[in-house]
Amino acid sequence: MDAETGPAAPQDQWKSYCRTISLLAFQSFGVVYGDLSTSPLYVYKSAFSGRLNNYRDETTIFGLFSLIFWTLTLLPLLKYVIIVLNADDNGEGGTFALYSLLCRHAKFSLLPNQQSADEELSTYYQPGVGVIISSPLKRFLEKHRKLRTCLLLFVLFGACMVIGDGVFTPAISVLSAISGLKDPGPGGIPDGWVVFIACIVLVGLFALQHRGTHRVAFMFAPIVVVWLLSIGVIGLYNIIHWNHRIFLALSPHYVIKFFKMTGKDGWLSLGGVLLAITGTEAMFADLGHFTAASIRLAFVGAIYPCLVLQYMGQAAFLSRNMSAVEDSFYQSVPSLACIVVMFVTTWLMALVIIFVWQKNILLTLLFVVAFGSIEVVYLSAAVTKVPQGGWAPIVFAFMFMLVMYVWHYGSRRKYLFDLQNKVSMKWILTLGPSLGIVRVPGIGLIYTELVTGVPSIFSHFVTNLPAFHQVLVFVCVKSVPVPFVPEDERYLIGRIGPREYRMYRCIVRYGYKDVQKDDENFENHLVMSIAKFIQMEAEEAASSGSYESSEGRMAVIHTEDTTGTGLVMRDSNNEASGTSLTRSSRSETLRSLQSIYEQESGSLSRRRRVRFEIAEEERIDPQVRDELADLLDAKEAGVTYIIGHSYVKARKNSNFLKTFAIDYAYSFLRKNCRGPAVALHIPHISLVEVGMIYYV
């Protein structure tokens, strides 16, 4: 039995893999390849919309098709399918994914919150990447902050051009498709009705978006597949019926002849040829929804051959019917955003090849010269489209980039203020374990953006509040330059000050694709994590013979593994309130209000109530037992979330540009974004906000 099933297991796995890849490839038709598939609607008519319209002969048609064919072959097929798709960030693609890769392999990030513990994440380095080798270029870029700022702006501009292009591309594609319903005769559909029908289709398309990528893909994939097969068959028919000599144009010799004959007019037509690769960047940008193998399969197996047949068929038809070009004339297509994004990707890929893949710089130069030169030619021709409509995505891109950079700049200045005004540990030690105030039962969670040290707002709390909690935890919700952080590696726990101060630090790490959901068991996870850290610290101290607290040390606490905490967690939902180990410090009125609030809030009322006890059967050091007991007493007394309600202002001696960016633009963005309490899913009944002004 085993002998028969043994060899069959790899075969079954291979079949399952093939089915999965085929399914994902089928879904990608409805999400990734919509723009590429509809580009034959307007490529030739846009290319002939300028002075090229004066060259109506077979040589021009053949040269134009040869140009389209080699553009499709070199950029989407060779550059993206074969090279760029290998530069994924743990399955994620796009401009920010490349920037994230670079920030992990070189110190390009402008926000100084990196920690060595982040490099221990299982998703931090790509498989097969060894020791990061330093180079003069890497040290040069890391040393100069202005160059790193320029790199960030370059990335933001590329990402914003995708957004700007996305504003117009659906409307252009749908309007071009609907315009095919027009009949040149007197009984044809007028332009007004074409626009009206296109608007209805667009509203319907956007109404379906909220159902998610999975359902949209399944809904539109069959339509795109039928469309591709149809245009492929039509193209093949046109080749056979009109001019089978079009196969000669597969030779790049016709490209040379095209430019020799048309000169500058041929160069200006590149803006129309560029539309043939509109949507190419989506193959990399949408990589997170699919896999590289499925996207490659769909492109090589269907997209590329069908598009080549269609463009070849159109050229064969136009070579015998020159007047048909004007019937599909539509010249207001903004050809520019697409090539700018490709150009940004080329230069980011060059840095990835050097710093991430650690290849020879000559290979990088070959990549840049081979693809960058092609894109520069297209970019120079696309610039001529700016007065005809290409300015629109540029304006949108600059607006979005300005918003993103102002937010980044303001957040960075605020973080640097906290970093430069940290509370001195010497001052905290002089206050003693009581911190100079009354320590009352309970856990105080102080939210801060700092990953090291004590924020300045803590001194504001101590000097303005008459009492503070018995256990203090400084919580930092941090974004790490990886797509996802595994749940079991999310928490970093450390200690602040000596053991008797009962002050801890918790860093909660999220990737840039992680969704910060409402964690109903966050308080329980936090208590278990701190308890496990206390046990780990004691075990290491016992092995080294020193019982000094390891201040500043951070440890990854695996929340899925509850062993080694010295605690027992019991369900207290059905227990009487009098069975708790300690009496709650909250008044009867406050507890009554909390009970009413939890009944009205559906999410909080479903939270699991637990009670912790110290495991009696385990042998625990007396100091550790006392610390665990204080932690449990504080948990039973209640948890309070403390957030600084900050107001960021520019210093009085700041220049006009900085004052406008901080006092008006950044302030406007902060007021119109979700507050920290909402973003962090903090229950309002347990929230305390303390105001503070930042002069940055």
pLDDT higher at 582 or 626: 626
> Does residue 436 carry a pLDDT above 60?
yes
Residue with tokens 């289709």: 201
Alpha-carbon distance of 283 to 575, in angstroms, equals: 55
- Planar angle of CA 153, 287, 491, nearest 5 degrees: 75
Question: What is the pLDDT at residue 169?
Answer: 74
pLDDT tens column, 291-333: 999 999 999 999 999 999 999 999 999 888 877 765 433 333 3
Rounded CA separation 29/110 (Å): 38
pLDDT, averaged across the chain = 82
3-state DSSP: the chain helix, strand, coil percent, rounded to 5? 65, 10, 25
Q: For 203-250, write each residue's pLDDT tens digit.
A: 887 887 777 777 777 788 888 899 899 999 999 999 999 999 999 999
Q: How far apart are CA 689 and CA 667, in angstroms?
A: 18
| 165 against 262, higher pLDDT | 262
**Per-residue pLDDT band at 130 (split at 50, 70, 90):** low
pTM of the model: 0.82
Length of the chain in terms of residues written: 696
**Can you give the pLDDT at residue 245?**
92
Predicted local confidence at residue 650, as pLDDT: 92
Which residues partner with 478 through β-bridges?
509
Question: What integer pLDDT is reported at residue 580 of this predicted model?
Answer: 38
Q: Is the pLDDT of residue 582 over 50?
A: no
> What secondary structure, in 3-state letters, does 512-535 show?
CCCCCCCCCCHHHHHHHHHHHHHH
pLDDT level of residue 578 (50, 70, 90 thresholds): very low
Average pLDDT over residues 570-579: 50
* CA–CA distance, 200 with 219 (Å, rounded to integer): 18
Q: What is the dihedral of CA 12, 16, 18, 21, to 10 degrees?
A: -160
CA–CA dist 82, 77 (Å, integer): 7
Q: pLDDT-based confidence at 334, cuts 50/70/90?
A: very low
- State pLDDT tens for residues 499-531: 889 999 999 999 988 887 766 678 888 888 898
How much of the chain exceeds pLDDT 90, in percent?
27
Nearest to 169 by CA among 39, 45, 298, 77: 39
